[in-house]
Structure 1
Amino acid sequence: MSLGYSSFGDWRAWDGYRHTIEHSVYVRADQRGKGIGKALMLALIDRAKELGKHVMVAGIEAKNTASIQLHEKLGFEHAGLLKQVGTKFDAWLDLAFLQLTLDSRKVPDSTENK
């Protein structure tokens, strides 16, 4: 039985967004608070850097303070809030966006500072 999983994929399908990814992390409810989420996140960040990605985007349900705090500790910054874009259990959900810049490139396809 899995303790959790993580993945990332293209932020948008168009070429102009090829350097940006969005990730997803899930930790089984009875395993939360044990560092599994952080370990999964660090592995994702390392892999994204290896692939030359520039920005990692997180879309987190706005009331999920534990996930938001974890992302902040890893250097993610708040980038916006979309109100009532999701739904669960007959209620509207707001989506907080956070982002992490993975490298310091000034030019998108440059190999400097990767």
Structure 2
Amino acid sequence: MQIRNATAEDAAAIAAIYNDAVMNSTAIWNDVTVDAANRAHWIDDRQAQGFPVLVACDGANVLGYASFGPFRAFDGYKMTVEHSVYVDAARRGGGIGRALLQALIERAREAGFHVMVAAVEAGNTGSIRLHEALGFERTGFMPQVGQKFGRWLDLAMLQLRLDEREAP
């Protein structure tokens, strides 16, 4: 498996992984699927802002993707990023998500960010365990802040301090 920067050629595979998560899971709290053009624009937009979009590949097959971007759109949060990691449903549980998240953490450290935030549907214990294994700490729990599939969803907040700076 190789992890590399995503390109427009990866957009269709990224859209397929995203759409599966939209239709079949509570990992993405959207109800609308996207097409390859949408994901190509998303890749371009993220990379133009200086944020990574990574793909895990096995040859020409995209197995998963990951990115991070701004946590909130206020100056005081500029040293904090929020990430997302999604793996093809048939390939989950094989270490792809871990490898992508580790690569994102390294990119965030290299870019000088101070904190990485994870917002995870609270019932996704696999994702929460993965984050904790990589050093994330649970910092919050927000009951019933979302909905999907006719039920309320709770949000678990986790964060990883990327460096030991005492001041910004």
- For residues 41 and 55 of structure 1, the distance between their equivalents in structure 2, rounded to whole angstroms, comes to 14
| Alignment match of 2:104 (pick from 44, 63, 69) | 44
Structure 1 residue 83 corresponds to structure 2 residue 143: yes
| Alignment match of 1:21 (pick from 81, 90, 96) | 81
Query: Could you tell me which residue of structure 2 aligns to residue 111 of structure 1?
Result: none
TM-score if structure 2 supplies the norm length? Answer: 0.63
Q: Considering fraction of residues, name the structure with more helix.
A: 2
SS of 2:119's equivalent in the other structure is strand
SS of 1:66's equivalent in the other structure is helix
Root mean square deviation of aligned Cα: 0.7
SS of 2:98's equivalent in the other structure is helix
Unaligned runs of 5+ in 2: 1-12, 14-61
Give the Å deviation of 1:29.
1.0
Unaligned runs of 5+ in 1: 109-114
Q: Which has the higher contact order (CA 8 A, sep 6+)?
A: 1
Cα shift readout 1:51-81 (whole Å, capped 9, x = no counterpart): 1000000000000000000000000000000
- For residues 117 and 68 of structure 2, the distance between their equivalents in structure 1, rounded to whole angstroms, comes to 9
> Counterpart amino acid of 1:69?
R
Query: Could you tell me which residue of structure 2 aligns to residue 106 of structure 1?
Result: 166
Identity of aligned residues (%): 64
Question: After TM superposition, where is structure 1 displaced by more than 4 Å over at least 4 residues in a row?
Answer: none
> Counterpart amino acid of 2:143?
K
Query: Could you tell me which residue of structure 2 aligns to residue 69 of structure 1?
Result: 129
- For residues 14 and 37 of structure 1, the distance between their equivalents in structure 2, rounded to whole angstroms, comes to 29
Query: Could you tell me which residue of structure 2 aligns to residue 10 of structure 1?
Result: 70
